[in-house]
Structure 1
């Protein structure tokens, strides 16, 4: 391995460790927002969905996502020869490149986290067994194909054909505004609809442990440096710009959310602060290497405002997205992707010009096609998956289990030993 490859591999190892922090971060964030009787179940939802996806990624997910596109159509990768990703061991690394096995692990984490994000919609009412089945089927039929569309690029020598969004449409999505955040947000919306509302919705109780949720959000923020920065594939200008824009958008997202929250509710809350941070991070994810720092400020501010503004949709439209995966991931993900068409800076590593920099409508059109295609595909296929599981295994626990809490009824545990405190 040459020196440049070693340096780039060192960065990718660091980014992979950082992005792995997002797993406990997401579990703590969602767990802290859950009601006390469901905190451990919510943590299990995140870890369980990640584990199922990771195993499937090794078996065939890597091939379906990053393998040579079947028939050259850009719709799905061909897993032939990539079963177990064992063929990546000892593979010759081109000068300056990162070993394929490391990229495979980095992308594995993306897949597992995307499934985990969906779990925010199901708090307190979904069977754990049904969730694990849903996670595996959804990863196979939705995430792997969509990630192929967005993340699989044609090889320079033309020997490998990638996904149609990345190569034929040439939509810009640096780290997953469509494939990760919008994808998971749409699936969360569908699952919330099929599960139905919790008892007493919307008056379902308060978060069980806000300090834990704040810690989780902090871990997510740190991990996002790996999520966006690692998407550069090595130490280069894209990595530096992505890291800078990630931090800037997170801070702007906090301010955007709190500004609107203060106007509407007369208070600025810690829950609002961490929600705004995450909304800003989601918004900048697709645009991390294509906008200027000022563009990142604007994206973060507006993403935070959009996330707050869309919170009320679940009450008006009647879907119970328990932990707001739709408001914080779907809507900012859509906004961040479309914002590229306006704010892409020609001197950024992506080298594209948005409307505000004198570019035409072409880039915005490409981003819009990606958004519409992923939204439609994910909504339809996720609906079919949820419908089949509901008709066979059933999606929802019974009323008694829901009332008692899923920690005790499904896992025989409690997060807090309250009897010991009383004694």
Structure 2
């Protein structure tokens, strides 16, 4: 890796790390004013905890050592001590490899952090911080770290195409590992914690739409590192395609979402624009390096329209996914992952291939969804029945910021 590629790797790592504060602002603007600290702290809590776990053992678990393994040995290089010690070597090649390995490990950590942070949106306004942190650590260990190994670290999803004699699964930046994974866990937690007090359409209004747009803007900015970041290990071969698709699909999804809002409710909203942008970013994540730009625009429109419709399902089906993690991340991740089966360059059903690409995409997507949901439900249920996961109804109604954190998001001096 030359110095330019290494510099891009560090830059992309910083961009993706910045996305977690973006999630905090996006989610923070969507909740009520007396829960904004609680909501943002869930993202920052994930940033602290998952970073530590990743350095200690998560990175080791994210790559398998051989065929048939579900995850890597968590103690293989505990705390990354071996990689760090290689920096003292007199062998310049070993030193360079250690630097690349440590930067790559840090880049991978940012994906783990934001995946966990995304889940928190489903339990806004009603979750205990300590219980959330406990869940986050267990879920990351049992689900995210192994799934990262499945998708990118030599595990069964990466090898699925070869095992079946079909094309390889395409998940360039995390449609399965990040968005389907987080969305399925979010659905499980929403079911475990139950509905907010007074849950009904229109009952919970975003308290700060400018925060929502700020968060969406930060996320879009950081997503260029999220999608194009891994090109440091690929000689920057597809970086042009990735960045244009990250722009185009996202922009198209904004339009798709706003059109649905206009048709359904008569008014396009700022929250809808921000949500549409996230839906497009989610959908293009697995597909960014494997779609022609025109098909990326079409994907964006489809994601914007379908995710705008999907967020209404919680009212029809009776699950309180507070901030639409299921409707945007689970549905958007499924759309982007399965869409490749039809339009992936060279292997999609309509772009030179057959049903093989769609088959492996579906197996990977639904396999991750099922695993994440089941484990998240079991872990969340166990926490709720032991130490408790949900705050009392009285605290929820009053607003949980002063109860849980002893702070208020907005303090107005009467003097």
Shorter-chain-normalised TM-score: which range?
Answer: over 0.9
> What is residue 191 of structure 1 aligned with on the other side?
189
Alignment of 1:2-401 (within 5 A): 4-69=1-66, 72-89=67-84, 90=86, 92=93, 99-152=100-153, 162-169=154-161, 170-202=168-200, 203-234=202-233, 235-346=235-346, 353-401=347-395
User: Alpha-carbon deviations, 1:339-391, whole Å to 9, x = none?
Assistant: 00111113xxxxxx201112111111010110111011111111111111111
Residue 53 of structure 1 deviates from its aligned partner by 1.1
Runs of 4+ in 1 over 3 A off after TM superposition: 91-98
State how far apart, in whole Å, the 2-side matches of 1:251 and 1:233 are. 26
Whether the 8 Å CA contact 2:184–2:370 is kept in 1: the answer is: no
Residue 270 of structure 1 deviates from its aligned partner by 0.6
Gaps of 5+ in 2: 88-92, 162-167
User: Alpha-carbon deviations, 1:198-237, whole Å to 9, x = none?
Assistant: 0000243311111111111100000000000002234512
State how far apart, in whole Å, the 2-side matches of 1:357 and 1:97 are. 40
State how far apart, in whole Å, the 2-side matches of 1:49 and 1:24 are. 11
Whether the 8 Å CA contact 1:38–1:124 is kept in 2: the answer is: yes
TM norm structure 1: 0.92
Whether the 8 Å CA contact 2:51–2:113 is kept in 1: the answer is: yes
Whether the 8 Å CA contact 2:68–2:156 is kept in 1: the answer is: yes
Whether the 8 Å CA contact 1:26–1:220 is kept in 2: the answer is: yes
Residue 20 of structure 1 deviates from its aligned partner by 1.5
Whether the 8 Å CA contact 2:83–2:98 is kept in 1: the answer is: no
Residue 168 of structure 1 deviates from its aligned partner by 3.1
State how far apart, in whole Å, the 1-side matches of 2:108 and 2:64 are. 13
> What is residue 409 of structure 2 aligned with on the other side?
415
User: Alpha-carbon deviations, 1:84-138, whole Å to 9, x = none?
Assistant: 0121223646999970100100000100100000010111101111000000000
Whether the 8 Å CA contact 1:8–1:98 is kept in 2: the answer is: no
Relative distance call for 1:165 and 1:98 in structure 2 (3 A) is farther
> What is residue 164 of structure 2 aligned with on the other side?
none
3-state SS of 1:354 partner: coil
Gaps of 5+ in 1: 153-161, 347-352
3-state SS of 1:408 partner: helix
State how far apart, in whole Å, the 2-side matches of 1:332 and 1:20 are. 22
Whether the 8 Å CA contact 1:93–1:99 is kept in 2: the answer is: no
State how far apart, in whole Å, the 2-side matches of 1:396 and 1:187 are. 16
State how far apart, in whole Å, the 2-side matches of 1:67 and 1:80 are. 13
TM norm structure 2: 0.93
